[in-house]
Amino acid sequence: MDCVIYIRWSSSEQSKGSSLERQREDCRRHAADHGWTVLEELLDDGISAFKGEHASTGSLGAFVRDVEAGRYPDGVVLLCEKLDRLSRQEPGRVFIWMMNLTEAGVVVATVDGARRYSKGAFDMASIIEVVVKAQLSHEESEKKSQRLAAAWAAKRRRLNAGEKFVMTRRAPAWLEVVGAPPVFIPLPDRAAIIRRIFEETVAGFGKNHIAKNLNLDGVPPFGRADAWHASYVQKILRNPAVVGELHTARKARGSKRQATGEVILDYYPSVVDADLHRRAMAAMAERSRKYTGRGRRLVNLFSGLARCGICGSMMTFRSKGRKQRADGTWVNEDYLVCDGYQRGKGCTNGVHFNYAVWEEGILDPIIHEALRYDRSATQSDVRALEIEVARLERVWGVAKAKADAALRLAVETNRNEAQNLWTELASLSDAAGEELDDARDRLLALVHLPSAEEQQKRVSELRSSLDHEDETIRFVARSKVMAATHALIDRLTFFGPDPLGVEMEVAGERLIDVSYDEVHRSTQWSMQRIDGMPFT
């Protein structure tokens, strides 16, 4: 008779290799003793039978579907080491599952006890045996699950109390676990790669471009991959472990991991400072906007931001391509046009705003404002304080979240213990907030106004890089300016045809008007406070 061997071990088993070999040898010996022809071996590696996932998504599930599809018209033996290899679910589920399988012509056999269960052969003794074995297996798994959950909960409590220890030897790809007691140590080369990924993200590069750069530079990928992939770059960028955080999760046996909401700071050694991480997250958020970009040019810096001042529709980017002027120079004839006017929705603003002219007119005051402040201290001092502020922001955020959770618990339970916990955590949150405010004040105290000459020099350098001949320099500069523009400008509206101009609100306090000078064929701008008060 044909036979299919089923082998399974859970992820909690320590010796997977020995488990595989033991089950394989025992099952093959048993099949040979009974004269069965082994057709194949089904393996479910690291899958628990407690929740029954293996019976739906694993190799066992595939076997059942093959049976239902008629792959074994003459019947087949499903052979396993023990009954609990097939399932550790509730006894009722196990019995019904086996009844359905045997009704389809499958003989379920186990090496343990040399038992065989087939259609029409389920007497009362067999039924009791299956149910009892299933009950014992299920209870064993339930107790093991509870013990593991309690052990992990105890570890989380110790970490939350400030104790430092390695919870598990599993570590991110840029760290290794060494020593006794074990500690996490960064792998210098890989830590440098992580920092490079974050720095390129801040510079405006997307995950695909970063992966391409790493591959072009011959940077070896982590793990067994043959090259860097955008998905893995994204995974690194989203991993809180780079700044040392452990976001805890619970995983019931046979189910997916679920976040607990607990955040443990400084569990791992940081390989990216908090400020770089913050800036990278901001850059990623900005890139998620669906702005127009033509390849590496980043054509429209104002996509998703510019609106018509008449009807409120988006200003859409239109291009007539490259054309040669009378003097022989080539220019891109690009325009911003009201989408409402374009689609005939009744808007009277039909002006085609020359993109190059108005980009310059809008960016002039924005760049002046962005570069208005310089540092009086050394760059290293400022950088250190920026990192400290970003770190304290994360500390305060975690402390506040814990205090808020404790407050909800105190309100729901009205227990003294919960109220005392909230009082303690609220005090810690307030202290963290005060420390953050102090650091922010110290950072502000380090800035001063630069000279007019220095400011103009920096503006000129940045403006020239926006149209630089080198594609990479141009792309990085335009990416940075685009991110800054979207961060600074709260409102950007285009008016026309009479009067013709742009109005924008900047940083919640400044109102900038940009108008077009027909005589000089250029733009000019003026600025005032939104509240009408004079500048100080």
Which residues on neighbouring strands pair with residue 330, listed in sequence order? 324
Domains of the chain: 2-142 (3.40.50.1390), 164-287 (3.90.1750.20), 306-371+462-529 (no CATH), 374-448 (1.20.58)
Beta carbons within 10 angstroms of residue 28's beta carbon: 17
d(CA 269, CA 77): 53
Q: Are 92 and 138 in contact (CB under 8 A)?
A: no
Nearest Cα to Cα of residue 377 among 442, 426, 321, 455: 442
| pTM, to two decimals | 0.45
d(CA 523, CA 503): 13
Nearest Cα to Cα of residue 210 among 191, 195, 227, 229: 229
pLDDT in tens, the chain (536 residues): 899 999 887 654 444 556 788 889 999 999 999 999 999 998 887 655 445 454 556 788 889 899 989 999 889 999 988 887 777 666 667 778 888 888 888 998 988 888 888 887 655 555 556 555 656 655 665 666 666 666 656 766 666 666 777 777 888 999 999 988 888 999 999 999 999 999 988 887 888 889 988 998 999 999 888 889 888 999 999 999 999 988 876 554 444 555 556 788 888 999 998 888 888 888 887 666 544 444 445 678 898 899 999 999 999 998 877 666 677 766 678 899 999 998 888 899 999 999 988 998 998 887 766 555 444 445 667 677 778 888 888 888 888 888 877 777 777 777 777 777 778 877 888 888 888 877 776 666 555 445 555 555 666 677 778 877 777 777 778 877 787 788 778 899 999 888 889 999 987 778 889 998 877 778 888 888 887 776 65
Quote the pLDDT of residue 151: 66
Cis status, amide bond into 450, omega within 30 of 0: no
- Which residue pairs, CB below 8 angstroms and at least 24 apart, start in 238-246? 239/172, 241/172, 241/175, 241/268, 242/172, 242/174, 242/194, 242/198, 242/270, 242/271, 242/272, 242/277, 243/270, 243/272, 243/273, 243/274, 243/277, 243/394, 244/268, 244/269, 244/270, 245/394, 246/159, 246/167
Q: Are 453 and 383 in contact (CB under 8 A)?
A: no
Quote the pLDDT of residue 122: 59
Provide the token pair at 215.
Answer: 């591959």
Quote the pLDDT of residue 146: 64
Residue 381 neighbours by CB under 8 Å, 6+ apart? 446
Quote the pLDDT of residue 448: 47
